[in-house]
C-alpha cells in the first residue's frame, strides 16, 4: 500500500463532473484502487459547482480549491505577468493554495509519491517540499524543447509518465544525454470499452428528436473541445463540399463538445460558416460523459481532424468501442492507436479535400465500414480500463 498525493491541473474538477479526459482517467484509476489496490490517496482539484463536497471514500480524500474566487483569478493573472517578464515561475492562485493547505496540515512527509497531472511547472515549486517524490503525468505536448523552464521541470521530476510514445519522445528530445536521470515511461490511456458498446435506446431517441436526426440519416460525428487547432472549421468546410456535391444526401454532421478556452470568436465564426446548412450541421455543446455512449450509437463515422499534435486521443478509442469507424489526422500519438491499413488517416496539409474524399468513400458504404471497424476494434483492445489501471498501479509500485 502506498500513500499517494495527486495534484490536479487546476483547470477542471475531479471527479469528472464537468467532463474532461484527465479527470475521467483519474476517476477510472481511483475506482479500481477502491476495489483492489487500496492505496491511500489525497486528491487536490479545482472546485466545480457540480461537486458534492462529501465525495470522500474509504481510500480517497478529495480537497478542493475555489479557482473562481476573484482573488485566485487576480493572482493567476499577476503571477502570469511575473513569469513572462522576469522569466521566474512563482505559481498561480491554484497551486499556491494547494501548497499553503499542505503546509497548514503539515503533510509534506506523509506521501510516498506525488503525481502532478499535466502541469510540469508545478514541480518547480513542489520540489522544495517533495524532493525525489515527484512524477509528472503528461497528457498533452506540454514538455518539449520549446517549453519554458523545461530543464528545471526535468530536474525536479523523478519520472515523467507520457500517454503515448509521441509524448515520451518529445520529452526525451530535451535531454538526449540523460543528464537529469529522469525516467521517461509510457502509460497509455484506457477506456471502459464495455461502457461504450452499451446502448440506451430511450436516450438515443431523445437525442435524435432534439437535433432532428432521422433514423435513416447517415451521421458524421465530431467529439472533442471546440477550438481552432482541432480542425472543426476544416471538417465543416469538407462537409459543405460534400453536401454541395451530393444534393440528395440524407446526412447530418453532429459536432459534440464544449468550447475551448478563449475560443468564443472561433465558435461564432464556424457557426456562421455552418448557418446555411443548419438543417444538416448540429452543435450540441457539452454532453455529459454518461450520455456519450448514446451519442456514439447514433453515429455512423467519427472524425478527429486535429491540426495540432494530439498527445493520444481518448475519443478515438471511445468511438471504436461503440462500433463506429474513426477517421483521424496524422497527428501526434493518434496513429499509435490505429494504423493506416484502411486509409483512415488524413493529411493535415490537405485536410479539407482528404476529409471530403473520406466522406464520399464511407457514406452508406456498409461493407467498407464493417471491414474498417473490425480491424480497428482489434487494434484498440489493449487500450482497455483494466490494462490502464494495472499499468498505472505498476508504475506506482515500481517508483523509487
Q: What is the pLDDT of residue 345?
A: 87
C-alpha 61/C-alpha 105 separation (Å) is 14
Give me the pLDDT at residue 341, please: 63
> Residue 389: its pLDDT value, please?
98
User: What pLDDT, on a 0 to 100 scale, did the predictor assign at position 206?
Assistant: 95
What pLDDT shows up at residue 133? 97
Distance CA 101, CA 293 (A): 38
Cα(191)–Cα(316) distance, integer angstroms: 10
Largest pairwise CA distance in the chain? 68
**Residue 340: pLDDT above 80?**
no
Instruction: Give the model's pLDDT for residue 240.
Output: 96
DSSP alpha helix (H) spans, the chain: 21-32, 70-86, 93-105, 122-126, 150-156, 165-172, 193-197, 201-210, 232-245, 264-275, 292-297, 314-321, 351-362, 366-380, 385-398
The reported pLDDT for the residue numbered 343 is 59
Domains of the chain and CATH, by start: 3-190+385-398 (3.40.50.2000), 193-380 (3.40.50.2000)
Q: What is the mean pLDDT of residues 305-318?
A: 93
Instruction: Compute the distance between CA of residue 234 and CA of residue 187 in angstroms, rounded to an integer.
Output: 31
**pLDDT tens digit sequence for 130-162:** 999 999 999 999 999 999 999 999 999 999 999
pLDDT category at 342 given cuts 50, 70, 90 is low
What confidence tens digit (pLDDT) does each residue in 174-192 have? 988 777 889 999 999 999 9
Q: For the segment 53-97, what is each residue's pLDDT rounded down to a tens digit?
A: 788 999 999 999 999 888 888 887 888 787 888 788 999 999 999
Neighbouring residues of 107: CB distance < 8 A, sequence distance ≥ 6: 42
Whose cell is 499534435? That residue is 309
Which three cell numbers mark 302?
467519427
Residue 25 has pLDDT above 70, yes or no: yes
Buried b (16+ CB within 10 A) or exposed e, 10-32: bbbbbbbbbbbbbbbbbbbbbbb
Confidence of residue 329 (pLDDT cuts 50, 70, 90): very high
User: Which pLDDT value is given to residue 80?
Assistant: 79
Please tell me the predicted confidence (pLDDT) of residue 175. 87
pTM: 0.91
Under a CB-based contact definition with an 8 Å cutoff, are residues 251 and 218 in contact? yes
CA distance 197 to 213: 21
Cα Rg of the chain, angstroms: 22
Percentage above 70 pLDDT, the chain: 99
pLDDT > 90 in the chain, percent: 80
Mean pLDDT of the chain: 93
Report the C-alpha dihedral over residues 212, 216, 220, 224, rounded to 10 degrees.
50
What digits encode the pLDDT tens for the residues 227-277? 899 999 999 999 999 999 988 889 999 999 988 778 999 999 999 999 999
Amino acid at each position: 500500500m502506498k500513500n499517494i498525493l495527486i495534484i490536479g491541473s487546476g483547470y477542471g474538477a475531479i471527479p469528472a463532473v464537468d467532463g474532461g479526459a484527465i479527470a475521467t482517467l483519474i476517476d477510472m484509476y481511483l475506482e479500481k484502487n477502491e476495489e483492489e489496490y487500496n492505496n491511500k490517496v489525497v486528491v487536490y482539484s479545482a472546485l466545480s459547482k457540480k461537486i458534492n463536497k462529501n465525495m470522500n471514500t474509504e481510500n480517497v480524500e478529495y480537497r478542493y480549491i475555489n479557482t473562481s474566487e476573484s482573488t485566485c483569478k487576480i493572482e493567476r493573472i499577476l503571477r502570469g505577468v511575473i513569469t513572462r517578464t522576469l522569466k521566474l515561475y512563482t505559481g498561480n492562485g491554484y497551486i499556491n493554495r494547494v501548497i499553503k493547505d499542505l503546509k497548514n496540515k503539515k503533510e509534506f512527509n506523509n506521501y510516498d509519491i506525488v503525481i502532478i497531472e499535466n502541469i510540469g511547472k508545478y514541480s518547480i515549486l513542489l520540489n522544495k517540499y517533495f524532493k525525489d517524490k515527484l512524477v509528472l503525468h503528461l497528457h498533452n505536448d506540454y514538455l518539449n524543447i520549446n517549453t519554458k523552464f523545461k530543464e528545471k521541470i526535468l530536474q525536479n521530476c523523478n519520472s515523467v509518465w507520457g500517454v503515448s510514445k509521441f509524448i515520451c519522445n518529445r520529452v526525451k528530445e530535451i535531454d538526449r544525454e540523460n543528464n537529469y536521470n529522469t525516467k521517461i515511461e509510457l502509460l497509455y490511456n484506457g477506456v471502459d470499452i464495455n461502457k461504450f458498446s452499451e446502448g440506451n435506446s430511450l436516450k438515443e431517441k431523445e437525442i435524435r428528436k432534439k437535433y432532428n436526426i432521422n433514423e435513416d440519416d447517415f451521421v458524421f460525428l465530431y467529439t472533442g473541445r471546440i477550438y481552432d487547432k482541432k480542425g472543426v472549421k476544416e471538417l465543416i468546410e469538407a462537409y459543405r463540399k460534400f453536401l454541395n456535391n451530393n444534393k440528395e444526401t440524407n446526412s447530418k454532421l453532429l459536432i459534440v463538445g464544449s468550447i475551448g478556452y478563449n475560443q468564443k470568436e472561433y465558435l461564432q465564426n464556424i457557426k456562421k460558416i455552418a448557418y446555411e446548412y443548419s438543417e444538416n450541421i448540429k452543435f450540441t455543446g457539452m454532453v455529459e460523459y454518461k450520455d456519450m455512449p448514446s451519442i456514439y450509437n447514433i453515429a455512423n463515422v467519427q472524425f478527429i481532424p486535429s491540426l495540432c499534435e494530439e498527445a493520444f486521443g481518448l475519443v478515438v478509442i471511445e468511438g471504436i468501442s461503440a462500433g463506429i469507424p474513426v477517421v483521424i489526422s496524422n497527428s501526434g500519438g493518434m496513429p499509435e492507436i490505429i494504423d493506416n491499413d484502411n486509409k483512415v488517416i488524413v493529411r493535415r496539409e490537405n485536410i479539407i479535400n482528404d476529409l471530403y474524399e473520406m466522406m464520399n468513400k464511407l457514406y452508406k458504404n456498409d461493407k467498407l465500414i464493417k471491414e474498417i471497424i473490425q480491424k480497428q476494434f482489434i487494434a484498440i483492445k489493449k487500450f482497455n480500463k483494466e490494462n490502464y489501471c494495472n499499468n498505472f498501479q505498476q508504475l506506482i509500485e515500481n517508483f523509487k
